C-alpha cells in the first residue's frame, strides 16, 4: 500500500534522473558523431576501449581529483576557523556573517572572471604587487604548475562560506553547558576544541565533505572561465573534457563515455564518503 | 572547609539579578537555594562555579579568594540540570575525560573510574552512550562525574527536575548520603520546596535577587520571616487573612480546627489526598484551606477556629514577620 503511495514521486524521480542516465549509458556504447551524421551506431564498447587507453582522460581524472582534494580540505580548515569565530559573541558579528556569505551568493562565472583579472599578467593587482616588491613577473595562470592552484583558490574563495554555514549550524547544536561542564572538569579551551567541538561536529564535517566532493568533481564553469582548461590542459577537468568532445568535436558517443566514466569515479568516491559518514552516524544527538 | 559568599552582586545591564548576598556553607552542610525561576538561585551557582563573574563582592573557598581563578582551577564538582554528559563519548569515557585533562596516569584513571562505576551501579552501562540511558541513569553518571572530581565544593543545579516524581523520591536518600559523605560544602539549587526540605539541612529562600530567609527547614516552616517565605514553604499553601489594623495573619491549613464557638463556614469543595483531605471553605473572612484526616466527618457548614499561638503575623507594608 505504502509502496503504491510513493509511486508517483518515484516515477517522477526515475523520469528526471533515470532517463538521461540510461540514455547516456546507451549512448556510450554507440558511435554518434559528425562522421556518423549524428546517428547512433552500435560499436560494441569501442568507446570504452578508447577511454581506458585515453591518456588525456586519466590525466584529467588526476587533475580533477587533485583539484577536489586540495580545495575541499582547504575549505574545510578555513570554514572551521570562520565558523568558530562567528559562533563567538562579539560586536558586529551579524554584519560579518552576512559579508562572509557574499562570495557564495555571487554567480560563479562573475567571480571567476574577477579572479581571472586579479591574476592577469601584466595588468592584474597580483602582478602589480609582485612588481612593487621587485620580483619578476608571476604569470600564475600561464604556468602549468601554478594555474591549477589559482583555480583552487577561486573555488576556496567561493565555497568556503557554504561550508562555514553548515559547520556554524553544527556548532550551534552543541549545548553551552557541555563546555561549562568540561571547563569545571579542568579542561582548557584548546582541549575543548579537540575533545568536544570537533568530535561533535563530525557528522557536519562529513556532510560538507560529501557535498563538496561531489560538487568539486563536476567543476566546470569556474575553470572554463578562468583558464578554459589550460595552460597545456593542466587545469582541464573531466567535465570540461566531456564538454569539449560533445560541443567542439561533436562526438556525442565518446562524450557520453567520458561522462559515465567520471560518473562511476564520482559514485565510488561518494560511496567511500557515505561509508565514512555512516561510520560516525551512530553519534547520537544530544538530548536532555 | 567553608564556602563563603560575601556581599555578592550581579547585574545585567542596569537591573540587579543578585544583590547583597551573604552565604556561608560549612563542610558537610547542604544549603538549598530555593525560589521561583528568575530569583537568582542559578546565577548564584554559576558565580560560585566561575561560569559567571560577580560585579560586586567576593567568593572564598577555605579562605582562598576565587577572584581571577578560572572555572577549571576552582576544583568544583557540578551536576547540571541537563546533566551535560558528552553525547559522543561512552559513559566510561565521560568519566575518564576529566581525569585525563587533569593529568591522571592511565592506571589511576582506570582504577578510579571502575571503582566509581561500581559504587554507582553503572558497570553494565560503561560502554553505552548517554543517549542510550534513561533519565535516572544519566543523573547517576552526572553525579558520578562530580564525585570523581573529588572537589572542594559540590554544586547541584536542579539535579532532579528532569526526572519523574517517583524516581526523584527514590533517588533523594541516595544522593543525600553520597554527597554528604564527602564532608564538603554542598549548594543545591531547586524550585521544589519539598525537595529542598528533604535534601538540605539549611535552606535559603530567594526572591528577586535577595535572600528572604536562611534557616533550617523547621525554622522556615514554623517561623517564616516574611509572607513570601510563608506561602512558598508548605503545601497546601498557608491561608492569608485580610489585613486588619496593619497586620496580615497567616494560618497553616492543618492548624484550622472544628470549634462550636468558631466562625461560620461552608464547604466549597474537597480534595482527597489519601490519609488526609483538603477542604476549601467559604467564610466571612474569605476562602480558607483546611487539612483534616480523611476519616473525619465534617458537616456541610462547619464552625471553625484556630489556636492563637499558631497564628503567623506579618506587617502589612513590609510583609515582615511580627511575632
- CB-based contact A185 B97, cutoff 8 Å: yes
Minimal-distance CA residue of chain A relative to B129 = A284
Residue with cell 539535579: B159
pLDDT at residue number A277: 65
Three-state SS for A219? coil
Among chain A residues, CA nearest to B48: A184
Residue A262 covered by a domain: yes
CA distances from B301 to B266, B294, B297 (A): 4, 17, 12
Q: Considering the domain boundaries, does residue A205 fall inside one?
A: yes
| Average pLDDT across chain A, whole number | 87
Find the domain containing A217 and state its range: 55-279
Residue A127 has a pLDDT of 82
pLDDT of A152 higher than 60: yes
Alpha-helical segments (H) within chain A: 2-5, 7-13, 19-27, 46-52, 55-87, 93-105, 108-118, 125-132, 147-172, 176-184, 189-192, 198-217, 221-226, 238-243, 252-279
Question: Could you read off the pLDDT of A42-86 as tens digits, one per residue?
Answer: 888 889 999 999 999 999 999 999 999 899 989 999 999 999 999
Contacts of A184 in chain B (CB under 8 A): 49, 51, 71-72, 74, 76-78, 149
Residue A25 forms part of a structural domain: no
Q: Is residue A9 part of a domain?
A: no
Residue A130: the pLDDT is: 81
pTM for the structure as a whole:
0.81
pLDDT of residue A280: 58
Mind listing the pLDDT tens digit for each residue in B15-50? Answer: 899 999 999 999 888 999 999 988 899 999 999 999
Phi/psi for B298 (5° steps) reads -110, 125
Q: Is the pLDDT of residue A283 over 50?
A: no
CATH number of the domain to which A213 belongs: 1.10.3720.10
Partners of residue B190 on adjacent β-strands: B34
- CA B277/CA B270 separation, integer angstroms: 7
In a domain, residue A26? The reply is no
Specify if A227 maps to a domain: yes
In a domain, A160, yes or no: yes
Domain count, chain A: 1
Q: How high is the ipTM of this complex?
A: 0.85
Query: Regarding beta strands B76-79 and B153-157, do their DSSP bridges make them parallel or antiparallel, or are they unpaired?
Result: parallel
How far is CA A43 from each of CA A27, A28, A32, A50, A259, rounded to the nearest angstrom? 10, 9, 10, 11, 17
Taking contacts as CB-CB distances below 8 angstroms, the residues of chain B near A202 are 88
Inter-residue contact B214 to B202 (CB < 8 Å): yes
| Cβ within 8 Å, pair A186-B76 | no
Residue among B110, B111, B184, B107 at smallest CA distance from B147: B184
B72, B87, B88: residue with CB nearest A187: B72
In a domain, A186, yes or no: yes
- State the average pLDDT over residues B156-176: 85
Amino acid at each position: 500500500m505504502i509502496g503504491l503511495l510513493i509511486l508517483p514521486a518515484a516515477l517522477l524521480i526515475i523520469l528526471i534522473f533515470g532517463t538521461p542516465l540510461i540514455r547516456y549509458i546507451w549512448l556510450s556504447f554507440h558511435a554518434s558523431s559528425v562522421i556518423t551524421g549524428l546517428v547512433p551506431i552500435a560499436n560494441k564498447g569501442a568507446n570504452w576501449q578508447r577511454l581506458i587507453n585515453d591518456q588525456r582522460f586519466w590525466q584529467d581524472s588526476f587533475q580533477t581529483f587533485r583539484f577536489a582534494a586540495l580545495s575541499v580540505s582547504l575549505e574545510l580548515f578555513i570554514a572551521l576557523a570562520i565558523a568558530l569565530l562567528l559562533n563567538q559573541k562579539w560586536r558586529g558579528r551579524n554584519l560579518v556573517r552576512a559579508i562572509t556569505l557574499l562570495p557564495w551568493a555571487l554567480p560563479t562565472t562573475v567571480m571567476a572572471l574577477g579572479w581571472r583579472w586579479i591574476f592577469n599578467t601584466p595588468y592584474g593587482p597580483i602582478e602589480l604587487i609582485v612588481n612593487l616588491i621587485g620580483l619578476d613577473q608571476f604569470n600564475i595562470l600561464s604556468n602549468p604548475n601554478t594555474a591549477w592552484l589559482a583555480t583552487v583558490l577561486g573555488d576556496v574563495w567561493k565555497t568556503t562560506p557554504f561550508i562555514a554555514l553548515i559547520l556554524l549550524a553544527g556548532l550551534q547544536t552543541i549545548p553551552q553547558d557541555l563546555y561549562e561542564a568540561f571547563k569545571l572538569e579542568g579542561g582548557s579551551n584548546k582541549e575543548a576544541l579537540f575533545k568536544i567541538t570537533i568530535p561533535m561536529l563530525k557528522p557536519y564535517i562529513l556532510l560538507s565533505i560529501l557535498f563538496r566532493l561531489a560538487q568539486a568533481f563536476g567543476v566546470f564553469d569556474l575553470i572554463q572561465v578562468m583558464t578554459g582548461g589550460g595552460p597545456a590542459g593542466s587545469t582541464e577537468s573531466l567535465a570540461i573534457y566531456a564538454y569539449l568532445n560533445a560541443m567542439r568535436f561533436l562526438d556525442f558517443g565518446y562524450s557520453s563515455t567520458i561522462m559515465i566514466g567520471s560518473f562511476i569515479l564520482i559514485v565510488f568516491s561518494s560511496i567511500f564518503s557515505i561509508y565514512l559518514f555512516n561510520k560516525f552516524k551512530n553519534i547520537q544527538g544530544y538530548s536532555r | 572547609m567553608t564556602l563563603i559568599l560575601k556581599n555578592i552582586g550581579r547585574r545585567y545591564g542596569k537591573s540587579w539579578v543578585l544583590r547583597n548576598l551573604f552565604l556561608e556553607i560549612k563542610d558537610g552542610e547542604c544549603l538549598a537555594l530555593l525560589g521561583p525561576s528568575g530569583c537568582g538561585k542559578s546565577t548564584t551557582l554559576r558565580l560560585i562555579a566561575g561560569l559567571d563573574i560577580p560585579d560586586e563582592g567576593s567568593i572564598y573557598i577555605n579562605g582562598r579568594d576565587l577572584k581571577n581563578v578560572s572555572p577549571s582551577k576552582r576544583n568544583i564538582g557540578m551536576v547540571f540540570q541537563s546533566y551535560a554528559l558528552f553525547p559522543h563519548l561512552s559513559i566510561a569515557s565521560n568519566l575518564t575525560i576529566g581525569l585525563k585533562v587533569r593529568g591522571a596516569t592511565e592506571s589511576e584513571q582506570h582504577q578510579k573510574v571502575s571503582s566509581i562505576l561500581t559504587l554507582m551501579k553503572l558497570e553494565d552501562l560503561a560502554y553505552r552512550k548517554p543517549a542510550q540511558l534513561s533519565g535516572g541513569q544519566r543523573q547517576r553518571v552526572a553525579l558520578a562525574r562530580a564525585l570523581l572530581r573529588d572537589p572542594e565544593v559540590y554544586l547541584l543545579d536542579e539535579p532532579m527536575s528532569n526526572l519523574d516524581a517517583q524516581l526523584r523520591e527514590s533517588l533523594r536518600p541516595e544522593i543525600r548520603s553520597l554527597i554528604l559523605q564527602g564532608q564538603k560544602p554542598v549548594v543545591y539549587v531547586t524550585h521544589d520546596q519539598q525537595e529542598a526540605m528533604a535534601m538540605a539541612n539549611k535552606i535559603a529562600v530567594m526572591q528577586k535577587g535577595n535572600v528572604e530567609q536562611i534557616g533550617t527547614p523547621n525554622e522556615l516552616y514554623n517561623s517564616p520571616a516574611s509572607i513570601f517565605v510563608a506561602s512558598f514553604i508548605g503545601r497546601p499553601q498557608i491561608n492569608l487573612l485580610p489585613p486588619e489594623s496593619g497586620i496580615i495573619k497567616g494560618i497553616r491549613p492543618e492548624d484550622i480546627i472544628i470549634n462550636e464557638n468558631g466562625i461560620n463556614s461552608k464547604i466549597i469543595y474537597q480534595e482527597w489526598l489519601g490519609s488526609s483531605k483538603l477542604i476549601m471553605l467559604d467564610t466571612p473572612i474569605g476562602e480558607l484551606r483546611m487539612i483534616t484526616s480523611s476519616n473525619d466527618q465534617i458537616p456541610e457548614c462547619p464552625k471553625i477556629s484556630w489556636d492563637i499561638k499558631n497564628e503567623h503575623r506579618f506587617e502589612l507594608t513590609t510583609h515582615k514577620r511580627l511575632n
